[in-house]
Amino acid sequence: MTAVWVDASSGASGDMLLGALVGAGVPVEVLQEAIDAVAPEPIALRVEEVRRGALAATRVHVDVAESHHHRTWRDVRSMLAGAESALAVFERLAVAEGAVHGVPADDVHFHEVGALDAIADVVGVCAGFAHLGATSVTVSPVAVGSGTVQTAHGTLPVPPPAVAELLRGVPTYAGPAPMELCTPTGAALLTTLATAYGPQPPMTVDTIGVGAGGRDPEGHANVLRLFVDGGIEARSARTSTAEGPLLLECNVDDLDPRVWPAVIAALLEVGASDAWLTPILMKKGRPAHTLSVLVDAARAEDVRATIFRQTSTIGLREQPLTKHALDREMVAVEVGGHTVAVKLARHHGVVVNAQPEYDDVARAASDLQRPVADVLAEATSLARKFR
C-alpha cells in the first residue's frame, strides 16, 4: 500500500502537482504518454529545476501551440472517454464553474490554450498518482490566499468563486500571502484525489517531491510538497526481494462490466495465480466490484501495471498471505478415444481430489457430439481409479 500526504500549505495548482510528482520520482514520460493519448492538439511537458524562496523545486512547463478552439465541458468529456479519473476531475470543475456562473455544466467553456493546459494538468496528475499506486491521499488544509484577482470576468475576490465552491467542506485558510494561491484546477484535483484531510498521518516517508508554481513571490516558497510512503524506487526494491504470495485488491465502480473477462484474462496471462470479482455496494448506494488478485511477489509488479492499465482504479490495497496448497499432479483418462487431463491433489501422499480439466471435457464432447455433462460424468468416474 502506498500512502501520500499532500502539503498544500502554500496553495495548489495543476503545474505544482505535476512538478511534485516528477520530483517524487514519477517519470515525465508516464505523464506525457497519458496526455498524448487524449490531447486533441500537440502538448509537450518540459521539466525545469528551479528555486522558490530557499527551496529547490521541480517545475513542469506545459508547452502548447496557439489554439483557436473554444471547448465546452461536453467537448472535453468526449476527448477523455475512458480516462475515468480525469473525467471525474473535469466534471467537478465544470459543475463548480457552472454553479457560480449560473450556466449548465455542459455549457461551461474552457477557453483556447487554457483548455489544453487544463487537460495536460488533469490527465498528467491523475496518471502520476496512478503510477505511484496511491491507496490513500491525505491533503493538508489548503491555503487559498486572500485579496483580489483579475480574471476574464473582471476583478474577483480570493478565493475566486469557483475555488470556494470546489472546496466546500474541505479545511482551508488564507495562507501566507495576499494573492491567489489555489487555482480551480488545483482545487478540483485535490478534492477528487483526496481520501482524507488533515496533517501528515503516521507514515514512513520514502520520497518527497517539491513542485513549483509559476510565480516566485517574496516572503514564502510557492511550492506544493508530496510525501510518499513506499515511493517508486523503495517499492521496486522491496518487490524484488519479497517472497511469497500477495493479495492485491481494488474497488471499481466506473468500469463497463463487459470488460471484466478481458481484465481477468490479462491478469492471468502476466502471472497472476488467480483473479476474481466480488459484487459490492459502495457509498451513496453505488454498485461496484472488488477485484481480487493472487500473485507471487516476484511477479506482482507486472500484475500491478496490468490492473492500472486495464481498469479505472487509481490505487491498490496489498497484503502478504500465508498459503497452504496441496501437492498436485496431472494424469489422463480416455473418453471415446479422446484424452482428458485429470488434476490430482494429494494430502500427505494420499489423493483427496481428482478433477477432470473442463476444457478437455468440452473439446471431447464437441468432437463426440455428446452432452458436456455426460462426458464430464464419464471422465469423473474414470478418474476415481486414481484415488
Exposed, middle or buried by CB within 10 Å (0-12, 13-18, 19+), for 83? buried
For residue 256, pLDDT beyond 70: yes
Would you state the pLDDT for residue 1?
Answer: 67
pLDDT mean across residues, the chain: 88
* Polymer length of the chain: 387
Which residues are paired to 347 by β-bridges?
A: 350
Secondary structure in 3-state letters for the chain: CEEEEEECECEECHHHHHHHHHHCCCCHHHHHHHHHCCCCCCEEEEEEEEEECCEEEEEEEEEECCCCCEEEHHHHHHHCCCCHHHHHHHHHHHHHHHHHHCCCHHHCEEEHHHHHHHHHHHHHHHHHHHHHCEEEEEECCEECECCEEEECCEEEECCCHHHHHHCCCCCEECCCCCCECECHHHHHHHHHHCCEECCCCCCCEEEEEEEECCCCCCCCCCEEEEEEECCHHHHHHHHHHCCCEEEEEEEECCCCHHHHHHHHHHHHHCCCCEEEEEEEECHHHCEEEEEEEEEEHHHHHHHHHHHHHHCCCCCCEEEECCCCCCEEEEEEEEECCEEEEEEEEEECCEEEEEEECHHHHHHHHHHHCCCHHHHHHHHHHHHHHHC
Q: Give CA angle at 384 (381, 387), nearest 5°.
A: 170
Would you state the pLDDT for residue 23?
Answer: 96
Nearest to 219 by CA among 180, 176, 181: 176
In whole angstroms, what separates CA 248 from the centre of its chain? 14
Would you state the pLDDT for residue 185?
Answer: 94
Dist. CA 336–CA 94, nearest whole Å: 65
Mean pLDDT, residues 172-193: 95
Which of 70-84, 314-328, 350-364 is the least confident region?
A: 70-84
Dist. CA 74–CA 332, nearest whole Å: 59
Joined grid coordinates for residue 237: 526494491
Per-residue pLDDT of 291-301, as tens digits, reads 999 999 888 99
Q: Give CA angle at 299 (208, 209), nearest 5°.
A: 10
C-alpha distances in Å from residue 270, one per residue of 265, 275, 358, 370:
9, 12, 22, 35
Per-residue pLDDT of 1-56, as tens digits, reads 689 999 999 999 999 999 999 999 999 999 999 998 888 788 999 999 999 988 99
CB 271 within 8 A of CB 287: no
Would you state the pLDDT for residue 139?
Answer: 97
Phi, psi of 352 (to 5 degrees): -115, -10
Per-residue pLDDT of 100-122, as tens digits, reads 888 887 777 664 335 788 889 99
C-alpha distances in Å from residue 144, one per residue of 52, 91, 186, 187, 272:
18, 21, 10, 9, 45
Dist. CA 162–CA 92, nearest whole Å: 10
For residue 350, pLDDT beyond 70: yes
Joined grid coordinates for residue 44: 509537450
Q: What are the structural domains, with CATH classification, of the chain?
A: 2-233 (no CATH), 242-320 (3.30.70.1380), 327-386 (3.10.20.300)
Q: What is the CB-side half-sphere exposure of residue 184 using CA atoms within 13 A? A: 22
Q: Which amino acid is at 247?
A: L
Per-residue pLDDT of 134-181, as tens digits, reads 989 999 999 999 999 887 778 889 999 999 999 999 999 999 999 999
CB 93 within 8 A of CB 166: yes
322 pLDDT tier (thresholds 50, 70, 90): confident
Dist. CA 269–CA 262, nearest whole Å: 10
In whole angstroms, what separates CA 96 from the centre of its chain? 23
Which residues are paired to 207 by β-bridges?
A: 228
Q: Give CA angle at 215 (211, 216), nearest 5°.
A: 90
